[in-house]
A and B are shown apart, each in its own frame.
Chain A
């Protein structure tokens, strides 16, 4: 059952994404004011949502780890941080492609853009710090602390940068837009969600395998394990 789900998630996710690409590029009518570039929104917004979801996962696991240390929770935090970085990177990249025809520049000091970028740098720093720490317990504890500080900084950066003037689109609510847009955005969001869950799952498995290797290093070839017949 679990195994089937693990295979089904990417299959369903990527098929939905393929259909979503058709929906977003051909089926949905072009947005009245912004035209074709607005179609990037259908992948940009879900990517950023997945980034936030994974950062919440990382914060939750970090908090949990400091209360009750467990390598599984640490593996979950690591998976969350890495997938968060991936989707955040995709989101910022897509946003900046969208910004060129719309705002006329790839980059500006818009609060959301800036604070998300700063947040991604803090997660990259956390993942870098993990690489330099050999002791699994200390690494887990340190990265739990870093995860909580990264979440706190995301909030503070958001408020501080917001006081610069903002260019970013005000979000629309489903009531202010047309139904095709809402449907396509939801469709793509579920596609992204399935893919994100699958990524976190696989990354978690990888992290657990790495832990197992660290805790009990494999015996060198030629040495028989105790009880094993050579």
Chain B
């Protein structure tokens, strides 16, 4: 970096992108509000679909919590690239001397943060509506949810970038994303159920391990593949 401007490092530029996304979110808070109410109504719909059998609902609470987060994540991810397509903001972002990898890291972290805030709102509601207690303690539940939100947002950001400019983005994003998320859904629901109802067989470690592996796989694939998605 002799002379001229020093190009900012990967993590620093990722942080700037993250800051920008969080600032946009904070200025309106429209996306988060919509997400929270969408997820809450999903949780209610599950309980209506199953009828008032509280014990059945309680046993499936972990899975429903994840489904609510996953359905809302499609809205969150789609929205995070809608703000970039408007006024060709993404083109502006690409023209800056910033590594496209940093754009991926920043946006994926922003989406993960949003989903984590959403889950923080959903947990007390789930515990109340489905009448369950976190037997292994709330910190463990928070850990599982954080891992899961990170796991959703890495492939989700790549797919949202792919579908953002497509004519049928509202259909394509869930069609592409949901099958990919199945391992995260399996591991996340199992782990959440174990945290809620106790872990007699000592399985929690392997399910969180799977969730962790999912994260490692998709965060690295995202860093590698995202630049070719947004290049023009």
Using CB atoms and an 8 Å cutoff, list the residues of chain A in contact with chain B: 66, 118, 121-122, 125-126, 128-129, 132-133, 138, 141-142, 144-146, 148-149, 152-153, 156-157, 159-161, 163
List B contacts of A128 (CB < 8 A).
Answer: 172, 175
CB distance from B172 to the nearest CB of A (A): 6
Across the interface, B225 reaches (CB within 8 A) one of A121, A126, A149, namely A149
Across the interface, B172 reaches (CB within 8 A) one of A129, A138, A156, namely A129
Q: How far is the CA of A133 from the CA of B176 in the complex (A)?
A: 14
The A interface is mostly helix, strand or loop, or mixed, namely helix
CB distance from B181 to the nearest CB of A (A): 9
- The proximity string for B residues 133-161 relative to A, scoring 1 for CB distances below 8 Å and 0 otherwise, is 00000000000000000000001001000
Q: Is the CB of A149 within 8 A of B221?
A: yes
* Selected A-B contacts with CB under 8 Å, 13 pairs: A66-B228, A118-B182, A122-B180, A125-B172, A129-B176, A138-B232, A145-B158, A145-B229, A148-B221, A149-B180, A156-B214, A157-B182, A160-B186
Query: For the complex, is B162 an interface residue (Cβ under 8 Å from A)?
Result: yes
Q: How far is the CA of A132 from the CA of B162 in the complex (A)?
A: 11
In the A-B complex, the 7 residue pairs with the smallest Cβ-Cβ separation, listed nearest first, are A160-B183, A125-B176, A121-B179, A132-B166, A156-B183, A125-B175, A153-B180
List A contacts of B225 (CB < 8 A).
Answer: 66, 145, 148-149
Q: Is the CB of B179 within 8 A of A152?
A: no
Q: Is the CB of A132 within 8 A of B168?
A: yes
List A contacts of B176 (CB < 8 A).
Answer: 122, 125-126, 129, 146
List B contacts of A121 (CB < 8 A).
Answer: 179
Q: Is the CB of B228 within 8 A of A144?
A: yes
List A contacts of B182 (CB < 8 A).
Answer: 118, 153, 157, 160-161
Q: Is the CB of B179 within 8 A of A122?
A: yes
Query: For the complex, is B103 an interface residue (Cβ under 8 Å from A)?
Result: no
CB distance from A218 to the nearest CB of B (A): 24
Query: How many chain B residues touch A (Cβ–Cβ < 8 Å)?
Result: 28
Contact of A153 with B166 at beta-carbon distance under 8 Å, contacts A66-B228, A125-B172, A148-B221 already known = no
CB distance from A105 to the nearest CB of B (A): 21
List B contacts of A152 (CB < 8 A).
Answer: 217-218, 221
The B interface is mostly helix, strand or loop, or mixed, namely helix
CB distance from A158 to the nearest CB of B (A): 9
- The proximity string for B residues 200-232 relative to A, scoring 1 for CB distances below 8 Å and 0 otherwise, is 000000100010011001100100010011011
Closest to B225 in A: A145
Query: For the complex, is B70 an interface residue (Cβ under 8 Å from A)?
Result: no
CB distance from B153 to the nearest CB of A (A): 15
CB distance from B231 to the nearest CB of A (A): 8
List A contacts of B186 (CB < 8 A).
Answer: 160-161, 163
Query: For the complex, is B163 an interface residue (Cβ under 8 Å from A)?
Result: yes
CB distance from A156 to the nearest CB of B (A): 5
Query: For the complex, is B74 an interface residue (Cβ under 8 Å from A)?
Result: no
List A contacts of B214 (CB < 8 A).
Answer: 156, 160
List A contacts of B175 (CB < 8 A).
Answer: 125, 128
Q: Is the CB of B217 within 8 A of A156?
A: yes
CB distance from A161 to the nearest CB of B (A): 7
Q: How far is the CA of A146 from the CA of B162 in the complex (A)?
A: 9
Of B175, B176, B213, B231, the most chain A CB neighbours within 10 A belong to: B176
Query: For the complex, is B167 an interface residue (Cβ under 8 Å from A)?
Result: yes
Q: Is the CB of A129 within 8 A of B162?
A: yes
Interface residues of B in 67-125 (CB under 8 A from A): none
List B contacts of A161 (CB < 8 A).
Answer: 182-183, 186
- The proximity string for B residues 162-201 relative to A, scoring 1 for CB distances below 8 Å and 0 otherwise, is 1100111000100110011011001100000000000000
CB distance from B163 to the nearest CB of A (A): 7
CB distance from A12 to the nearest CB of B (A): 36
Q: Is the CB of B180 within 8 A of A142?
A: no
CB distance from B6 to the nearest CB of A (A): 30
Contact of A159 with B183 at beta-carbon distance under 8 Å, contacts A132-B166, A133-B166 already known = yes
